[in-house]
Amino acid sequence: MEPSPRTATSNPPVAASATAANLTERDLVRRSASTVPPPARQLEPVAKLIDVSKCIGCKACQSACVEWNDTKPALETNTGIYENPHDLTPDMFTLMRFSEWENPQTGNLEWLIRKDGCMHCEDPGCLKACPAPGAIVQYSNGIVDFIHENCIGCGYCIKGCPFNIPRISKVDHTAYKCTLCSDRVAVGQGPACAKACPTHAITFGTKEDMKKLADSRIEDLKSRGFENAGLYDPPGVGGTHVMYVLHHNDKPAIYSGLPEDPKVSPVVNAWKGMAKYVGFAAMGLAAAAGMLHSAFAGPNRVTREDEEKAEDLVKEKI
């Protein structure tokens, strides 16, 4: 067995010779609209930790993301806000969202900056909703990735996602989002955004290490008066592989609408669960009723007598 990908550090030295990708089809734990054999090995779960309290809003992460993924976000117009572009797009997988919040306890104006992007849910709603076999996959290290050659561009992932993340490209009509730099992780590197972050607000490593790091950060924040500081790793989606340290973890919504208790919508669950069984049962019953009726009642034929009756009626009236 090959060793697990090296994932515990964001900025390991790059090997002099090319490293073979070590994140393959055999590492899939979920594949949309299909099943996968149980993986032969379990990779160490990874996570990106975004410490909102350390972020200075420089957007180096966005630049690094654009650079690494070679995307070309369209130039937009300044409308007086800091977000640039104004939303996630098929060419911008991560976005700094800025909000100004007046703390009622201290009277301070707090500038809350959150790096938005795919959370890499343990229970991914996008994957659940996807109808195209293999268009969305989840690796055993927790990364949820879109496989563009299998994507049909239907937008079901958008309906499944509790965080409003996927965007459909108008160019190739497939869905795009943060890959957690799965191609970098596969060769032992951390995500481009983490590598670029000048304040280490973004760190990457095993999920366990990231939780420990978060604990020390939360302790520090609490000692400095942020009594509600905490880790955002929402259990409603089974936890996420992108986590936030929030100074106000009791109010995630103040961070540009971060959901309080995200979970896959019950409507999506009904559509992907009950509707399928009920649907097949109903169509099957209708077809079976037809066959049974045909077997027991036989065809309903027009008789010679019917024809004569009609001829008599017509003769009488003509």
Q: Where along the sequence are the contacts to other proteins (CB under 8 A)?
A: 33-34, 131-133, 150, 152-156, 158-159, 164, 168, 173, 265, 267-268, 270-271, 275-276, 278-280, 282-283, 285-287, 290, 293-294, 297-311, 313-318
Q: Provide the 8-state DSSP code for 276.
A: H
**DSSP characters over 193-235:** HHHH-TTS-EEEEEHHHHHHHHHHHHHHHHHTT-TT-EEE--G
**Closest CB to other proteins among 161 and 213?**
161
Residue closer to other proteins by CB (options 19, 89) is 89
Closest CA to 41 of 94, 88, 5: 5
Nearest to other proteins of 168, 187 (CB atom): 168
Write down the least CB distance from residue 310 to other proteins, Å.
3
Cα angle value 25/211/58 (rounded, 5°): 85
Rounded least distance, CB 250 to other proteins, Å? 24
CB of 162 to other proteins, least distance (A): 9
User: CA geometry: angle at 123 spanning 44 and 20, to 5°?
Assistant: 35
Q: How far is the CB of 85 from other proteins (least distance, A)?
A: 16
Render the burial of 260-280: b for 16+ CB within 10 Å, e for the rest. eebbbeeebbebbeeeeeeee
Indicate the residue among 58 and 158 with the shorter CB distance to other proteins. Answer: 158
Minimum Å gap between C-beta 267 and other proteins is 4
**Residue whose tokens read 């707090």:** 110
Tokens representing residue 213 in the block: 């790091």
Residue 173 CB, nearest distance to other proteins (Å)?
6
Cβ proximity to other proteins, 134 vs 238, nearer residue: 134
Q: Smaller CB distance to other proteins: residue 57 or 134?
A: 134
